Amino acid sequence: MKELEKTYSPNEIEDRLYEKWLEKKYFHAEVDRSKKPFTIVMPPPNVTGQLHMGHALDNTMQDILIRYKRMQGYNALWQPGTDHASIATEVKVIEQLKKEGIDKHDLGREGFLKRAWEWKEEYGNRIVKQLRKMGSSADWDRERFTMDEGCSQAVNEVFVRLYNKGYIYKGSRIVNWCPVCNTSISDAEVEHVEQSGHFWHIRYPYADGTGYVIVATTRPETLLGDAAVAVNPEDERYQDLVGKMLKLPLTDREIPVIADAYVDKEFGTGCVKITPAHDPNDFEVGRRHNLPEINIMNDDATINELGGKYAGMERYAARKQMVKDLEEQGLLEKVEDHVHNVGTHDRCKTTVEPMVKQQWFVRMEEMAKPAIEAVKSGELKLVPERMEKTYMNWLENIRDWCISRQLWWGHRIPAYYCTECGEMVVSKEAPAVCPKCGCTHFHQDEDTLDTWFSSALWPFSTLGWPEETEDYKYFYPTDVLVTGYDIIFFWVIRMVFSGLEQTGKLPFHTVIFHGLIRDSQGRKMSKSLGNGIDPLEIISQYGADALRLTLITGNAPGNDMRFYMERVEASRNFANKVWNASRFIMMNLERAEIPAEQDLKELTAADHWILSKVNTLAKDVTENMDKYEMGIAVQKVYDFIWEEFCDWYIEMVKPRLYDESDNTKSAALWTLKTVLIQSLKLLHPFMPFITEEIFCNLQNEEETIMLSSWPEYRKEWNFEEEENSIQTIKEAVRAIRNLRSGMNVPPSRKSKVIVVSESETIRGIFENGRAFFGTLAYAGEVAVQEDKSGIAEDAVSCVIPGAVIYIPFADLVDIEKEIARLEAEEKRLTGELARVNGMLGNQRFISKAPAAKIEEEKAKLAKYTDMMAQVQERLAALKK
């Protein structure tokens, strides 16, 4: 047994232990049909990413589960990897090129991709190294990348399958367009941000010049693409207008008035401009009424040639000029301030422009059905259950998914066009001959796939699918997915319908959603607020174990939590407590021989109690872990170690350890070691480093706690009677300590403690526990008796169930000194009362002093009078 260092220093053990774990390949899993598999896939962080608190929580939760299952004997695989992050990576590479004075188009596609791969090799593994600092026990030997050869093969396979089935098509539909990144983005990547704007009320004149209707809009520049004005068919105000033509302001076009139930007749004027090429709802209305789709914007959000005099102007400059022109022409009715949610790209924060574009889409209606049924049937469990409503709402209102992106970094769409006749061929590899004209020259589609297309295949593409590999057949379906509730649409649902469609199986049976980590004021951590906390700095200062414990303590699935530095310090204090207690136990173990097997009958009541407690703890924690209640589980382990084991049991056995003649000493040492090992095992998934260091120094039988067996409930360790006995003694100790604290009696002042009970059982409890009860109760002497005989009248008492505890007053207080102190206090109060009574009896003071001052003095009189009564009562009792 190696002695622990005097001071717990995480910086000195964590990196060393992690290297040992990697070297010994403890995290690695191979197919083993004799064991049951348990698989988790890591949500792949972006290669552009840097560890933040969300990553820290997400990976801590996964690591806790995988370590727990590994100790339970499962063949546990935590499959790691990173995501190529199309937009984010392309932005990073472009920024790097700009610093060198290079435009990406100067390099060409191949040159740019070469630089992108170089960037990925240099910076892409940064977050993986940071995850290792957290103690993440992922199988790094299996690390995957969404653009590696195997994952890319899976992407092409799925694209071709879905295309051949009619689920993927190319067509013109409304998409979210980012004018800065110059690409389409999915609905899930649009962040709606509250902005202050205006409602411009514009007059649309009748074509015959007999009047006008008023239309309100927040985007007046889009009127250049209006195809109609819509009213509700049940709106009596406008029924006569339906079918009439209006003159579109600032243009030479005329547009019709149409009737559509989409219009809310109670909102605004009841007239809505319909711009099919620039609004998703208008697009649907336009398709219903066969309206033209007039795109009036270029890709950089400048007005195109269809914008007349405004062509070439930036969208907001055009807005400003158009509003001015409308006002000059008498067509601007009024302007109202308006706060509304504006769609912005979650990456670059640019306001998104809805546009009709020729893009690739996935039909979602059919694939959504089995994903809905999986939750309805209970086959897929969402934790917490309330996430089902969000899941269902999204799937039941799903739109076709735009999967093409106008980027170079990513999976290029496997569609090829004949250079002669333009025939399109969708194929996993470039075709040799055109099936239409026989030409042998093709060019590939320029677009790449949405990043989420490849990550939707992550649970099975990482295991070798579409090949029927042994890994895929053994480890798939995976078991649990852990992720933030903020990406339920981005990723979780897409994995569910992709898994069902491609493999016929759900990719996992349970999804655990965790909340966001907020700052101490409850605000979301962000760069703009400057309130982000770097997990690596926390680790450097307090250790990974302290950070992990802080993140999981009090954490409940789906709930946000606030991050306080005081809690990190408390977690570090707990680590110190565990370290110091372990060191104390190990120092005592070195000085004595203890049996490998202990006859439980030779243990004392205190030994039985703590053994029974840790036994129940193992059962409770296992039940919590199986229900994914990790926050509850760790709190139980924390409370047991700190209170029951350290504060109670270790203090109970100290007299036995220090008494060489005590024949129960070896039993105490066996119990200390046994309970410590059980406690370390239960704590290990949450705090892997400190538990490994102590465990490996405490015993020589096993080389790592990670592969040791998880504690299981044992019938022979159930000592209910002793648990009740020790509980009685603990209640007595607490009552005595509270009594002494109330009288300001220091622990160093010993007293006689008399336990009086008519119950023979309770008297037996105190007789048997006399040694440690006396120590814990600061007793110089312990007496146990059936009645009050021989107890002085001035003895103070406290009551517990079935007994009364008495302590001679003189043992607690030096009576002569206390009388002197009380007489001095009586003299002081006499003076204070005289002063207050004098002021309140002075009519001059009463007539001139503010009312508040008078009330203050009256309050003092009441307080001093009460204090005097108490002092005189205690003096009278003492002088008897």
* Residue 127 CB neighbours (<10 A): 20
Dihedrals φ, ψ of 127, to 5°? -70, -30
Bridge partners of residue 272, in order along the sequence: 230
Closest CA to 203 of 328, 296, 338: 328
In the chain, the N- to C-terminal Cα span, in Å, equals: 61
Residue 412 CB contacts under 8 Å (≥ 6 apart), including other chains: 444, 445, 446, 447, 448, 449
* Token pair in block for residue 575: 């680590």
Residues 866 and 856: their CA atoms lie apart, in Å, by 16
Task: For residue 552, give the nearest of 634, 638, 481, 621 by alpha carbon.
Answer: 634
Which of 132, 140, 138 is closest to 536 using CA atoms?
132
Q: What are the phi and psi torsion angles at 319 (to 5°)? A: -55, -50
Three-class DSSP category at 202: strand
Neighbours of 803 (CB within 10 A): 21
CA distance 139 to 76: 9
> In terms of Cα–Cα distance, which of 267, 263, 265, 275 is closest to 230?
263
CA distance 418 to 416: 7
Q: Which residues pair with 514 in a beta bridge?
A: 484
To which residue do tokens 């977050």 refer? 127
pLDDT value, residue 743 = 82
DSSP class of residue 708 equals S
131 CB-near residues (< 8 Å, 6+ apart): 45, 51, 55, 59, 80, 138
Query: Residue 297, exposed/middle/buried by CB under 10 A (0-12, 13-18, 19+)?
Result: buried
Mean pLDDT computed over every residue of the chain? 92
Report the relative pairing of strands 517-518 and 442-444 from DSSP bridges: unpaired
- pLDDT for the residue numbered 392: 94
Look-up of token digits 């025939």: 423
| 167: number of Cβ within 10 Å | 20
Q: Could you check whether the bond before residue 466 is cis, i.e. omega within 30 degrees of 0?
A: yes
Q: In what order do the strands lie in the sheet with 442-444?
A: 424-426, 415-418, 442-444
pLDDT at 528: 66
Place of tokens 């709402």: 393
Report the alpha-carbon distance of residue 326 to residue 203 in Å, rounded.
Answer: 9
Q: Which domains does the chain have, with CATH numbers?
A: 183-354 (3.90.740.10), 565-718 (1.10.730.10), 723-812 (3.30.2320), 815-879 (1.10.287)
3-class DSSP state for residue 334? strand
Q: Classify strands 190-205 and 332-345 as parallel, antiparallel or unpaired.
A: antiparallel
Integer Cα distance of 613 and 611 in angstroms: 5
Total Cβ atoms within 10 A of residue 743:
13
Report pLDDT digits (tens) over 551-584: 999 888 888 888 889 999 999 999 999 999 999 9
| Cis status, amide bond into 280, omega within 30 of 0 | no
Dihedral sign for Cα 103, 105, 106, 111, please: positive
Query: Binding site membership for ATP: which residues?
Result: 527
Other C-beta atoms lying within 10 Å of the C-beta of residue 492: 25
How far apart are the C-alpha atoms of 418 and 551, rounded to whole Å? 56
The sheet carrying 803-807 orders its strands as 779-785, 751-756, 803-807, 796-800
Give me the pLDDT at residue 837, please. Answer: 93
Residues annotated within a binding site:
527
Residues 140, 434 contacting (CB under 8 angstroms) = no
Element (H, E) at 747: none
Strands (E), 123-189: 144-145, 168-178, 183-185
Contact 725, 609 (CB under 8 A): yes
Q: How far apart are CA 424 and CA 443, in angstroms?
A: 10
How open is the CA angle 21-27-31, to the nearest 5 degrees?
145
Q: What is the pLDDT of residue 111?
A: 95
| Pairing mode, strands 245-247 and 415-418 | unpaired
Tokens of 518: 């907020």
Look at residues 646, 516, 498 and name the one whose alpha carbon lies nearest to residue 52: 516
Contact between 545 and 575 under an 8 Å Cβ cutoff? The reply is yes
Omega before 808 within 30 of 0, i.e. cis: no
**Which DSSP state fits 488?**
I
User: Pairing state of beta strands 75-79 and 37-41?
Assistant: parallel
Tally of helices (H runs) and strands (E runs) in the chain:
29, 29
Q: What is the radius of gyration, based on Cα positions, of the chain?
A: 38
**Helix/strand/coil (H/E/C) assignment for every residue in 8-47:** CCHHHHHHHHHHHHHHHCCCCCCCCCCCCEEEEECCCCEC
- Burial readout 671-689 (b: 16 or more C-beta within 10 A, e: otherwise): bbbbbbbbbbbbbbbbbbb
Cα–Cα distance measured from residue 578 to residue 677, given in angstroms and rounded to the nearest whole number: 12
**Which burial class, exposed, middle or buried, applies to 695 when counting CB atoms under 10 A from its CB (0-12, 13-18, 19+)?**
buried
- Region label for 145, one of left (φ > 0), alpha (ψ between -120 and 50) or beta (otherwise): beta
**Cβ proximity of 350 and 178 under 8 Å:** yes
Q: CB-based burial of residue 556 (10 Å sphere; 0-12 exposed, 13-18 middle, 19+ buried)? A: middle
Give which of 452, 276, 473 is closest to 357, Cα–Cα.
276
Question: Can you tell me the distance from the alpha carbon of 445 to that of 424, in angstroms, rounded to the nearest whole number?
Answer: 9
Q: Please give the pLDDT value at position 879.
A: 77
Question: Which residues in the chain come in under a pLDDT of 50?
Answer: none
Cα separation, 65 vs 70, whole angstroms: 9
**Single pTM value for the model:** 0.86
Q: Which amino acid is at 669?
A: L
* Token pair belonging to 46: 């972006």
